[in-house]
Amino acid sequence: MTQEIQSEFLSSGEIFVTINMLLSATFLVCYLYQFFYIAVPFFLKDKAHKPTTPHRFAVLISARNEETVLPLLLESLNKQTYAREHFTVFVIADNCTDKTAEIARENGAVVYERFNKEQVGKGYALDFLYEKIVADYGDAHFDAYTIFDADNVLDPHYLEEVNKTFSDGYEVITSYRNSKNYGDNWITAGYALWFLRESEYLNHSRMLMNASCAVSGTGFTFSSAIMREVGGWKFFLLTEDIEFTVYNVVRGRKIGYAKNAELYDEQPVTFAQSWRQRLRWAKGYIQVWGKYGNDLLKNIFSEKFASCYDMTMTIMPALVLSILTLINCAIGTVAGLIFGWEINKILLSLVFTFAGIYATLWVIGAITTATQWKKIHCGGFKKTFYTFTFPVFMLTYLPIAITAIFKKVEWKPIAHNQAKRLSDIKS
């Protein structure tokens, strides 16, 4: 490239367009494997389960002022097809000021109450609950622990299906996460569609390929041996589920997926609630990377490559690449205004970048909607319409994630009021 061409290249702002293209190409290279995951369930079949052995499960529920929704979860637990003598339900009433503890006892749960305004959050509550269980039952009385949020409702076969996968030898198991209120609005649908995609085209595909899955917030099971190894539930970051996942992955432990163990979760309805929750998640991802980033990167160059690379992509690069794209375009635009460049190419490059992201997310949402159609409980028009709002929902992560870099974030409870039975959800 001659000096004259170089000068023209720099002075016209072409360098910023080129940087955008390189960032987009890097994004594609990093996440191309997830498009491959979409194809996997269409070509590979689930393996048959090994002979099933009944295991003793301790069901752990952390509840803070959940008197409205908790009874429906407990009711769905009492209707499980898995033998009742093989599982015990524990509720930790955490800093409650309502009748959560009383209602939990009335519905057959073993209840402990905790009042601690300093150590706030689900992780601290679960650790307190585990200590109480060990004190009263011993650390080997149960074979495994299963965690639910108080707003969940379960399919009757949930624990039966989890036990099948646990009997296959998996020490950690995640499940199929559906939604109680998919059709409320574009926000609830955005959450729900992401979790359905995560279940079917991430965790299911990982399971089919004998790779490690990832735990997602609620509806997961792990062996008592892991609790003894850790010394309790010692995962206190803002996204304790991702922290727990990475803890196990860097140790070479494969997380399994029970695809027929289905739970229904309540999604935030307002954007303010959603912003607060996803801000916590975004900050939590940053925390997890700070704690485990080096371990993930070191293990990428080992036999744990697939799982560690997968978790690395889950936690960090998308945010970094998106922010770099915005910064590049912002600098290019300002420089163009100062030096009198034609900035149309730079702005057009930004438009094409985000149009590409929108189209990609729409395709992912549309495929998920089409294949999970019968499991999405709302009208056909809404199912179709929300495939177009799904990319918008996902793109709102960008300002949230940028805010998380600079803002101090603390755990705050999300109010739940969707008191629905399984029959109500499916009606």
Q: Are 383 and 376 in contact (CB under 8 A)?
A: yes
- Report the alpha-carbon distance of residue 91 to residue 104 in Å, rounded: 7
Any idea of the CA torsion for 175, 93, 423, 108, to the nearest 10 degrees?
100
- Report the alpha-carbon distance of residue 172 to residue 241 in Å, rounded: 12
Supply the pLDDT for residue 342: 67
Q: Are 157 and 140 in contact (CB under 8 A)?
A: no
- Report the alpha-carbon distance of residue 147 to residue 140 in Å, rounded: 17
pLDDT tens by residue, the chain, 427 residues:
455 544 554 455 678 778 888 888 888 888 999 999 999 999 999 999 999 999 999 999 999 999 999 999 999 999 999 999 999 999 999 999 999 999 999 999 999 999 999 998 899 999 999 999 999 999 999 999 999 999 999 999 999 999 999 999 999 999 999 999 999 999 999 999 999 999 999 999 999 999 999 998 899 999 999 999 999 999 999 999 999 999 999 999 999 999 999 999 999 999 999 999 999 999 999 999 999 999 999 998 888 888 999 999 988 878 788 888 878 777 877 877 776 666 677 777 778 888 888 999 999 999 999 999 999 999 999 999 999 999 999 999 989 988 998 899 988 888 888 899 999 999 8
**Model confidence, pTM:** 0.92
Which CATH class name applies to 57-270? alpha beta
Supply the pLDDT for residue 327: 84
Sign of CA dihedral 66, 71, 74, 76: negative
Supply the pLDDT for residue 2: 53
- Report the alpha-carbon distance of residue 209 to residue 305 in Å, rounded: 14
- Report the alpha-carbon distance of residue 119 to residue 126 in Å, rounded: 12
The residue ranges of every structural domain in the chain are 57-270
Alpha helices in 219-270 (DSSP H): 224-230, 240-249
- Report the alpha-carbon distance of residue 425 to residue 410 in Å, rounded: 32
Q: Are 422 and 375 in contact (CB under 8 A)?
A: no
Q: Are 287 and 74 in contact (CB under 8 A)?
A: no
Q: List strand residue ranges (DSSP E) for 249-357, in order.
A: 255-265
Computed on alpha carbons and rounded to an integer, the radius of gyration of the chain in Å comes to 23
- Report the alpha-carbon distance of residue 233 to residue 61 in Å, rounded: 13
**Rounded to the nearest 5°, which phi and psi values hold at 148?**
-130, 155
Sign of CA dihedral 133, 137, 141, 142: negative
Question: Closest Cα to residue 316, out of 287, 294, 292, 286?
Answer: 286
- Report the alpha-carbon distance of residue 175 to residue 203 in Å, rounded: 9
Coil/strand/helix, residue 60: strand
Sheet containing 172-179, strands listed edge to edge, beginning at the edge strand earlier in sequence = 110-114, 87-94, 57-63, 144-149, 220-223, 172-179, 255-265, 153-154
